[in-house]
Amino acid sequence: MSDVLSQRLQPRHFSLIKAIADLGQLSLAAASLSMTQPAASRMLAEIEKIVGATVFVRTPKGMEATEIGNALARRAETLLEEIREAMREVDAIKRGASGTVRVGAVTGGALGYIVPAIRALKAESRMAEIHVDVAPSGALVSNLMSGQFDFVLGRIPFGIDARQFDIRHALAEEVDLVVHQRHPLAGVGMLHMGDLQHFPWAMQGPGAPMRQAVEHAFVEAGANLPNDVVNTTSLLVMIAMIASSNAIAPVSREVSDLLCHPGSGAGLRRLDLSSPINVLPYHMIALKSRRMSALASRLQDLVLQQFVNR
Protein backbone atom coordinates (compact mmCIF):
# COMPACT_ATOMS: atom_id res chain seq x y z
CA MET A 1 0.00 0.00 0.00
CA SER A 2 1.34 3.42 -0.94
CA ASP A 3 2.03 6.19 1.61
CA VAL A 4 -1.07 8.05 0.44
CA LEU A 5 -3.31 5.01 0.79
CA SER A 6 -1.97 4.33 4.28
CA GLN A 7 -3.08 7.81 5.41
CA ARG A 8 -6.42 8.76 6.88
CA LEU A 9 -8.59 11.72 6.03
CA GLN A 10 -7.43 14.88 7.81
CA PRO A 11 -9.42 17.97 8.82
CA ARG A 12 -8.05 19.83 5.77
CA HIS A 13 -9.55 17.11 3.55
CA PHE A 14 -12.95 17.50 5.20
CA SER A 15 -12.73 21.28 4.81
CA LEU A 16 -12.31 20.89 1.05
CA ILE A 17 -15.11 18.29 0.83
CA LYS A 18 -17.54 20.60 2.64
CA ALA A 19 -16.51 23.63 0.57
CA ILE A 20 -17.05 21.80 -2.72
CA ALA A 21 -20.38 20.39 -1.52
CA ASP A 22 -21.56 23.85 -0.41
CA LEU A 23 -20.30 25.88 -3.39
CA GLY A 24 -20.55 23.35 -6.21
CA GLN A 25 -17.41 24.60 -7.95
CA LEU A 26 -13.82 23.54 -7.36
CA SER A 27 -12.54 27.03 -8.12
CA LEU A 28 -14.92 28.64 -5.60
CA ALA A 29 -14.09 26.02 -2.97
CA ALA A 30 -10.36 26.62 -3.47
CA ALA A 31 -10.80 30.40 -3.15
CA SER A 32 -12.84 30.03 0.04
CA LEU A 33 -9.97 28.04 1.56
CA SER A 34 -7.26 30.41 0.25
CA MET A 35 -5.91 27.68 -2.05
CA THR A 36 -5.08 27.67 -5.74
CA GLN A 37 -7.33 25.59 -7.95
CA PRO A 38 -4.49 23.19 -8.93
CA ALA A 39 -3.71 22.62 -5.23
CA ALA A 40 -7.39 21.91 -4.53
CA SER A 41 -7.53 19.52 -7.50
CA ARG A 42 -4.48 17.62 -6.19
CA MET A 43 -6.02 17.42 -2.70
CA LEU A 44 -9.30 16.08 -4.13
CA ALA A 45 -7.34 13.40 -5.99
CA GLU A 46 -5.57 12.55 -2.72
CA ILE A 47 -8.93 12.26 -0.93
CA GLU A 48 -10.28 9.90 -3.59
CA LYS A 49 -7.15 7.72 -3.35
CA ILE A 50 -7.54 7.50 0.44
CA VAL A 51 -11.24 6.70 0.16
CA GLY A 52 -10.79 4.42 -2.81
CA ALA A 53 -13.80 5.85 -4.62
CA THR A 54 -14.99 8.89 -6.54
CA VAL A 55 -16.21 11.64 -4.22
CA PHE A 56 -17.34 14.28 -6.72
CA VAL A 57 -18.16 14.10 -10.41
CA ARG A 58 -17.97 17.01 -12.84
CA THR A 59 -21.24 17.93 -14.53
CA PRO A 60 -22.27 20.87 -16.74
CA LYS A 61 -23.66 22.48 -13.58
CA GLY A 62 -20.47 22.00 -11.57
CA MET A 63 -19.19 19.49 -9.02
CA GLU A 64 -21.82 17.03 -7.86
CA ALA A 65 -21.26 14.74 -4.86
CA THR A 66 -21.54 10.99 -5.26
CA GLU A 67 -23.30 8.92 -2.60
CA ILE A 68 -19.94 8.58 -0.84
CA GLY A 69 -19.31 12.29 -1.29
CA ASN A 70 -22.66 13.15 0.31
CA ALA A 71 -21.84 10.91 3.28
CA LEU A 72 -18.43 12.56 3.71
CA ALA A 73 -19.93 16.03 3.38
CA ARG A 74 -22.42 15.30 6.18
CA ARG A 75 -19.61 14.04 8.40
CA ALA A 76 -17.44 17.00 7.46
CA GLU A 77 -19.95 19.50 8.83
CA THR A 78 -20.12 17.71 12.20
CA LEU A 79 -16.36 17.14 12.40
CA LEU A 80 -15.39 20.71 11.54
CA GLU A 81 -17.87 22.12 14.05
CA GLU A 82 -16.38 19.83 16.72
CA ILE A 83 -12.91 21.11 15.87
CA ARG A 84 -14.10 24.72 16.05
CA GLU A 85 -15.81 24.03 19.37
CA ALA A 86 -12.63 22.41 20.70
CA MET A 87 -10.59 25.47 19.73
CA ARG A 88 -13.18 27.77 21.31
CA GLU A 89 -12.95 25.73 24.51
CA VAL A 90 -9.15 25.82 24.47
CA ASP A 91 -9.24 29.57 23.95
CA ALA A 92 -11.75 29.99 26.78
CA ILE A 93 -9.56 27.95 29.14
CA LYS A 94 -6.51 30.01 28.19
CA ARG A 95 -8.46 33.21 28.87
CA GLY A 96 -9.79 31.86 32.17
CA ALA A 97 -13.35 31.80 30.84
CA SER A 98 -13.81 28.04 31.17
CA GLY A 99 -12.33 25.02 32.90
CA THR A 100 -12.41 23.76 36.48
CA VAL A 101 -11.28 25.37 39.73
CA ARG A 102 -11.30 23.78 43.18
CA VAL A 103 -11.05 25.84 46.34
CA GLY A 104 -11.51 25.30 50.06
CA ALA A 105 -12.26 27.69 52.90
CA VAL A 106 -13.18 28.01 56.53
CA THR A 107 -16.86 28.81 56.91
CA GLY A 108 -16.52 32.57 57.35
CA GLY A 109 -14.13 32.83 54.42
CA ALA A 110 -16.43 30.79 52.19
CA LEU A 111 -19.46 32.98 52.88
CA GLY A 112 -17.68 36.32 53.11
CA TYR A 113 -15.27 36.07 50.19
CA ILE A 114 -15.54 32.88 48.09
CA VAL A 115 -19.29 33.09 47.40
CA PRO A 116 -19.23 36.74 46.22
CA ALA A 117 -16.17 36.00 44.06
CA ILE A 118 -17.94 33.01 42.49
CA ARG A 119 -20.94 35.19 41.63
CA ALA A 120 -18.60 37.64 39.88
CA LEU A 121 -16.78 34.83 38.05
CA LYS A 122 -20.01 33.24 36.87
CA ALA A 123 -21.12 36.59 35.47
CA GLU A 124 -17.99 36.51 33.29
CA SER A 125 -17.66 32.78 32.66
CA ARG A 126 -20.93 30.91 32.82
CA MET A 127 -19.30 27.62 31.74
CA ALA A 128 -16.72 27.65 34.55
CA GLU A 129 -16.96 24.54 36.75
CA ILE A 130 -16.32 25.47 40.37
CA HIS A 131 -15.91 23.14 43.36
CA VAL A 132 -15.97 24.58 46.89
CA ASP A 133 -15.31 22.66 50.12
CA VAL A 134 -15.81 24.07 53.62
CA ALA A 135 -13.67 22.45 56.30
CA PRO A 136 -11.32 23.15 59.22
CA SER A 137 -7.93 24.59 58.31
CA GLY A 138 -6.03 21.34 58.97
CA ALA A 139 -8.04 19.43 56.38
CA LEU A 140 -7.91 22.34 53.93
CA VAL A 141 -4.13 22.68 54.01
CA SER A 142 -3.62 18.91 53.87
CA ASN A 143 -5.80 18.69 50.76
CA LEU A 144 -4.07 21.71 49.25
CA MET A 145 -0.70 19.96 49.67
CA SER A 146 -2.05 16.80 48.03
CA GLY A 147 -3.18 18.80 44.99
CA GLN A 148 -6.94 18.71 45.57
CA PHE A 149 -7.29 22.51 45.80
CA ASP A 150 -5.99 25.40 43.72
CA PHE A 151 -5.99 27.63 46.81
CA VAL A 152 -7.66 27.82 50.21
CA LEU A 153 -8.73 30.37 52.81
CA GLY A 154 -7.52 29.04 56.12
CA ARG A 155 -4.78 28.95 58.73
CA ILE A 156 -1.42 27.15 58.57
CA PRO A 157 -1.62 24.28 61.09
CA PHE A 158 1.02 23.92 63.78
CA GLY A 159 4.01 21.89 62.60
CA ILE A 160 3.58 22.65 58.87
CA ASP A 161 6.46 24.48 57.15
CA ALA A 162 4.87 27.71 55.92
CA ARG A 163 7.73 28.41 53.50
CA GLN A 164 6.20 26.11 50.88
CA PHE A 165 3.14 28.36 50.58
CA ASP A 166 2.30 31.65 48.96
CA ILE A 167 0.45 33.35 51.85
CA ARG A 168 -1.51 36.52 51.22
CA HIS A 169 -3.52 38.80 53.48
CA ALA A 170 -4.54 38.37 57.10
CA LEU A 171 -8.31 38.21 57.38
CA ALA A 172 -9.87 38.90 60.77
CA GLU A 173 -12.71 36.65 61.90
CA GLU A 174 -15.14 37.87 64.54
CA VAL A 175 -17.19 35.34 66.50
CA ASP A 176 -20.89 35.75 67.18
CA LEU A 177 -22.80 33.58 69.67
CA VAL A 178 -26.08 32.42 68.17
CA VAL A 179 -29.18 31.12 69.95
CA HIS A 180 -32.81 30.45 69.12
CA GLN A 181 -35.14 33.43 69.56
CA ARG A 182 -36.83 31.53 72.44
CA HIS A 183 -33.55 31.41 74.39
CA PRO A 184 -33.70 33.09 77.84
CA LEU A 185 -30.82 35.40 76.89
CA ALA A 186 -32.15 36.41 73.47
CA GLY A 187 -32.62 40.17 73.49
CA VAL A 188 -30.71 40.71 76.74
CA GLY A 189 -28.11 43.47 76.36
CA MET A 190 -24.42 43.59 77.28
CA LEU A 191 -23.97 39.97 78.33
CA HIS A 192 -20.78 38.82 80.10
CA MET A 193 -19.23 35.40 79.55
CA GLY A 194 -20.14 34.44 83.10
CA ASP A 195 -23.81 34.75 82.10
CA LEU A 196 -23.31 31.99 79.53
CA GLN A 197 -21.33 29.31 81.33
CA HIS A 198 -24.28 27.25 82.62
CA PHE A 199 -26.00 26.84 79.26
CA PRO A 200 -25.40 23.94 76.85
CA TRP A 201 -23.08 24.64 73.91
CA ALA A 202 -22.60 23.27 70.40
CA MET A 203 -19.17 24.15 69.03
CA GLN A 204 -16.01 22.97 67.34
CA GLY A 205 -13.82 20.44 69.11
CA PRO A 206 -10.95 21.32 71.47
CA GLY A 207 -8.03 22.97 69.65
CA ALA A 208 -10.14 24.50 66.88
CA PRO A 209 -9.40 28.23 66.50
CA MET A 210 -12.99 29.30 67.19
CA ARG A 211 -13.22 27.01 70.22
CA GLN A 212 -9.96 28.44 71.53
CA ALA A 213 -11.24 31.99 71.04
CA VAL A 214 -14.41 31.23 73.03
CA GLU A 215 -12.46 29.51 75.81
CA HIS A 216 -10.04 32.44 75.94
CA ALA A 217 -13.00 34.81 76.34
CA PHE A 218 -14.26 32.78 79.32
CA VAL A 219 -10.81 32.79 80.92
CA GLU A 220 -10.33 36.53 80.34
CA ALA A 221 -13.70 37.17 81.98
CA GLY A 222 -12.77 35.03 85.00
CA ALA A 223 -15.64 32.65 84.25
CA ASN A 224 -15.67 28.86 84.25
CA LEU A 225 -15.57 27.01 80.95
CA PRO A 226 -18.91 25.38 80.08
CA ASN A 227 -19.18 21.67 80.87
CA ASP A 228 -22.19 20.82 78.71
CA VAL A 229 -20.66 20.84 75.20
CA VAL A 230 -21.50 18.96 72.00
CA ASN A 231 -18.40 18.94 69.79
CA THR A 232 -19.13 19.29 66.06
CA THR A 233 -17.80 20.98 62.95
CA SER A 234 -21.21 20.68 61.27
CA LEU A 235 -23.15 23.90 60.98
CA LEU A 236 -26.34 21.88 60.45
CA VAL A 237 -25.82 20.04 63.74
CA MET A 238 -25.25 23.36 65.50
CA ILE A 239 -28.46 24.80 64.06
CA ALA A 240 -30.39 21.67 65.08
CA MET A 241 -29.02 21.91 68.63
CA ILE A 242 -29.95 25.60 68.85
CA ALA A 243 -33.45 24.99 67.50
CA SER A 244 -34.20 22.12 69.90
CA SER A 245 -32.63 23.42 73.13
CA ASN A 246 -31.16 26.40 74.93
CA ALA A 247 -27.78 25.68 73.34
CA ILE A 248 -25.38 28.45 72.32
CA ALA A 249 -23.25 28.10 69.19
CA PRO A 250 -20.25 30.23 68.18
CA VAL A 251 -20.14 31.05 64.47
CA SER A 252 -18.31 33.56 62.30
CA ARG A 253 -19.90 36.97 61.70
CA GLU A 254 -20.56 36.02 58.04
CA VAL A 255 -22.54 32.96 59.15
CA SER A 256 -24.55 34.83 61.76
CA ASP A 257 -25.38 37.53 59.19
CA LEU A 258 -26.91 34.78 57.07
CA LEU A 259 -28.66 32.85 59.86
CA CYS A 260 -29.95 35.80 61.87
CA HIS A 261 -31.19 37.90 58.99
CA PRO A 262 -34.89 38.73 59.57
CA GLY A 263 -35.81 37.26 56.21
CA SER A 264 -34.07 33.92 56.80
CA GLY A 265 -36.99 32.40 58.70
CA ALA A 266 -34.57 30.47 60.92
CA GLY A 267 -35.72 32.14 64.14
CA LEU A 268 -32.15 32.65 65.36
CA ARG A 269 -30.64 35.60 67.24
CA ARG A 270 -27.10 36.59 68.09
CA LEU A 271 -26.33 37.43 71.66
CA ASP A 272 -25.38 40.97 72.63
CA LEU A 273 -21.94 40.62 74.24
CA SER A 274 -20.16 43.25 76.31
CA SER A 275 -16.81 42.35 74.70
CA PRO A 276 -16.10 41.02 71.20
CA ILE A 277 -14.62 37.56 70.57
CA ASN A 278 -11.99 37.38 67.83
CA VAL A 279 -10.29 34.42 66.21
CA LEU A 280 -6.73 34.34 64.92
CA PRO A 281 -6.67 35.66 61.33
CA TYR A 282 -6.82 33.31 58.36
CA HIS A 283 -5.11 33.75 55.00
CA MET A 284 -5.30 33.02 51.30
CA ILE A 285 -2.91 30.09 50.86
CA ALA A 286 -1.55 28.50 47.67
CA LEU A 287 1.37 26.19 46.96
CA LYS A 288 4.42 27.94 45.54
CA SER A 289 5.28 24.85 43.50
CA ARG A 290 1.92 24.63 41.72
CA ARG A 291 1.05 26.78 38.74
CA MET A 292 -2.60 27.80 38.70
CA SER A 293 -4.85 27.62 35.67
CA ALA A 294 -6.10 30.87 34.19
CA LEU A 295 -9.54 30.20 35.69
CA ALA A 296 -8.15 29.58 39.18
CA SER A 297 -6.03 32.72 38.93
CA ARG A 298 -9.08 34.73 37.91
CA LEU A 299 -11.10 33.44 40.86
CA GLN A 300 -8.19 34.23 43.17
CA ASP A 301 -8.07 37.80 41.81
CA LEU A 302 -11.80 38.19 42.43
CA VAL A 303 -11.40 36.95 46.01
CA LEU A 304 -8.60 39.47 46.52
CA GLN A 305 -10.92 42.19 45.23
CA GLN A 306 -13.39 41.18 47.94
CA PHE A 307 -10.64 41.69 50.53
CA VAL A 308 -10.02 45.22 49.27
CA ASN A 309 -13.72 46.09 49.18
CA ARG A 310 -14.33 45.03 52.78
Q: What is the dihedral of CA 172, 173, 175, 181, to 10 degrees?
A: 120
Mean pLDDT of 55-62: 90
- When pLDDT is cut at 50, 70 and 90, the band that residue 127 belongs to is confident
- Give CA–CA dist 114/306, Å, rounded: 9
- Residues 22-35 have pLDDT tens digits of 999 999 999 999 99
Among 158, 157, 275, 165, residue whose Cα is nearest residue 213: 275
Q: How many helices (H) and strands (E) does the chain have?
A: 11, 11
- Return all residues near 170 (Cβ < 8 A) that are at least 6 apart: 281, 282, 283
Give 176: exposed, middle or buried? Use CB within 10 Å, 0-12, 13-18, 19+: buried
Model confidence over 61-95: pLDDT tens digits? 899 999 999 999 988 888 888 888 777 767 766 66
Question: Whole-prediction pTM value?
Answer: 0.69
pLDDT over 90 at 190, yes or no: yes
Is it the case that residue 1 has pLDDT exceeding 60? no
Q: What is the pLDDT of residue 7?
A: 65
Nearest to 256 by CA among 244, 271, 246: 271
Mean per-residue pLDDT of the chain: 91
- Distance, in Å, from the CA atom of 226 to the CA atom of 236, rounded to the nearest integer, reads 21
| pLDDT reading at 308 higher than 90 | no
pLDDT score recorded for residue 262? 86
Backbone dihedral angles phi then psi of residue 269, each to the nearest 5 degrees: -135, 150
